[in-house]
Amino acid sequence: MNKRDLVVVGGGPAGMAAAVAAHENGVKDILLVERDQYLGGILNQCIHTGFGLDYFKELLTGPEYADRFIKKIRAIPDIEISLRSFVVRLAGDRTVTYLKPGGMFHVRPKALIMATGCRERTREMIHIPGTRPAGIFSAGLAQKLINIEGLLPGKEVVIIGSGDIGLIMARRFTLEGAKVKAILEIQPATRGLARNVVQCVEDFDIPIYFNHKVLKIGGRDRVEKVTVAKVDAAMKEVPGTEVVIDCDTVLVSVGLIPENEMIEMAGVDIDKRTNSPVSKEVNTTSIPGIFVCGNSFKVYDYVDSVTADSELAGRLAAEYIRGRA
């Protein structure tokens, strides 16, 4: 069993900010584990601008925002970075078990910071009936395919939900030569930021329909169409408003949910509704010495706020370690 002062799980903006802040506050023995082969997390696929104005007073793209922290963290020899390291078990005594090419490792730190981010809500969570053809993607997966892998998932796209990633992908698909036939939002207004409606939707005349829901996804092997209808104030379908839209791809952009299976396994109390740890203060959990920060604590709108709050997590962990020494 390896011992450490601090282990940080997750090498995205939250984990990097927490590790750097802990180091600035006196923690000198830190291991950061990241499952991907790069640091930066989801920022690497967010190639659009909109990051950094609060924290860096500069408008940056996602990869640039990540790059600032990657440089910072790599310049600190006290922080060991373990990439391609996938955490498979977490115990209540803070023992972390992770897989990495070459084997399985166990480490028990004095304090643990979980910065595992969030995942996307899926079609299953919003109950859309119909067949199960290929061509249905979460918006973030489509973003990864286009921006990292260079693959265009489809040519005629309908987007369900108007979360920010969906709006941003509407523009991305359009620029890559696909046709976005509709964005459907069941609520009377967008869930995304107004700036994204302007620069991603209005700039490209993409039709966005509020108070509309998907009744059915159709198609045998591949998506062929979606059937949509207007809804009333009670979210009930208005009879006679059914329309069929032909498309080969459906994107689902219906929000994010914190990823917390590991701390749940360790026995941390989780709020089943939000999937956040039950806690009176930001970054703390029901188990002393286990901290959670960034989108795994709660889903944030801005990465700048993730950084600020995660720095606080780093300081809290440093205090906790000092208190035990």
Partner 1 sequence: MTKKMVCIECPKSCLISVDIENCKVAKVTGAKCPRGVKYALAEAVTPARLFTATVIAEGLDLKLIPVRTDKPIPKKDIFRAVEEIRKLRIGKPVKAGETIVENFLGLGIKLLATREAVKGGCKNV
Residues that bind partner 1 (CB under 8 A): 37-38, 44, 47-50, 53-54, 59, 61, 63-64, 66-67, 70, 81-84, 146-150, 175, 193-195, 197-199, 203, 301-302
E-state strands within 21-102:
30-33, 49-51, 60-61, 79-82, 86-90, 96-100
In 3D space, the residue among 6, 7, 8 whose CA is nearest the CA of residue 294 turns out to be 8
**Burial category of 265 from C-beta neighbours within 10 Å (exposed 0-12, middle 13-18, buried 19 and up):** middle
Vertex 202: Cα angle to 128 and 162 (nearest 5): 25
By beta-carbon proximity to partner 1, the closer residue of 88 and 148 is 148
Closest distance of CB 193 from partner 1, Å: 5
By beta-carbon proximity to partner 1, the closer residue of 48 and 119 is 48
Amino acid making up residue 110: K
**Pair 138, 120: CB distance under 8 Å:** yes
Closest distance of CB 315 from partner 1, Å: 25
Closest distance of CB 220 from partner 1, Å: 31
By beta-carbon proximity to partner 1, the closer residue of 33 and 136 is 33
**Pair 228, 209: CB distance under 8 Å:** yes
By beta-carbon proximity to partner 1, the closer residue of 56 and 216 is 56
Sign of CA dihedral 206, 209, 210, 213: negative
By beta-carbon proximity to partner 1, the closer residue of 125 and 151 is 151
By beta-carbon proximity to partner 1, the closer residue of 53 and 238 is 53
Closest distance of CB 263 from partner 1, Å: 26
How far is the C-alpha of 137 from the C-alpha of 127, rounded, in Å?
15
Closest distance of CB 222 from partner 1, Å: 25
In terms of phi and psi (left: phi > 0; alpha: psi -120 to 50; beta: otherwise), the region of 41 is left
Closest distance of CB 261 from partner 1, Å: 26
Amino acid making up residue 67: D
By beta-carbon proximity to partner 1, the closer residue of 93 and 203 is 203
By beta-carbon proximity to partner 1, the closer residue of 46 and 186 is 46
Sign of CA dihedral 299, 250, 49, 81: positive
Contacts (Cβ under 8 Å, ≥6 apart) of 200: 167, 168, 170, 171, 206
Closest distance of CB 168 from partner 1, Å: 10
Closest distance of CB 143 from partner 1, Å: 11
By beta-carbon proximity to partner 1, the closer residue of 63 and 133 is 63
Closest distance of CB 240 from partner 1, Å: 34
Q: In terms of DSSP H, where are the helices of the chain?
A: 13-24, 62-74, 123-126, 139-144, 164-175, 194-196, 261-266, 303-324
